[in-house]
Amino acid sequence: MTIRPIVRYPDRRLTLLARPVTAFDATLRELANDLLETMRAAPGIGITAPHIGVPLRVVVLELDAREGAQTYVNPEIEWASPEMILHREGSVSMPGVNDEVQRHARVRISYQDLDGNMHSEESDSLRAVCHQHEIDQLDGMFWIQRLSRLKRERLVKKFEKMSRG
């Protein structure tokens, strides 16, 4: 397992649509392990392959150390509740800044595991927010695009200042 360099905002690779995984092999397992180590070192609770410059639809989440990490390959949102919630979000690609983002309170996603088996999962609260946040990233939408222009500009200025200092 290797800690890989994280792509930093505003790198263009964070705006690209990630490609579906088609090979469920040792290379994919190595990528998932590297994502987990990189996320823990960041530190973070979620990471996608695009965060380390790999344009594939792979997400690793670890919301609770006791539950352990979960890898989602080719995840897609199948259903989202009409109820919305606000949750504070940030990114390993833009450390040190965060803000409230409006998301669906519950979602159901479909995904594959590392062996290519299909699964479905319903989630709410933090896990639902993470599913939406990371799938947005796979679709080339960085989380700050969900903010108003004014909030986004303030966060970008703050991040630029922190990055220089």
Nearest to 64 by CA among 140, 138, 127, 158: 127
Which residues does residue 84 pair with via DSSP β-bridges, in sequence order?
104
Give kind and range of the element (H or E) at residue 128: helix 125-138
Is 134 part of the annotated catalytic residue set? yes
Q: Of the listed 67, 89, 134, 160, which one is catalytic?
A: 134
Q: In the Cβ-directed half-sphere of 124, how many Cα atoms lie within 13 Å?
A: 5
Helix and strand totals (H; E) in the chain: 3, 7
| Cβ pair 75, 58 in contact under 8 A | no
| Cβ pair 18, 11 in contact under 8 A | no
Q: Among all residues, which ones are annotated catalytic? A: 134
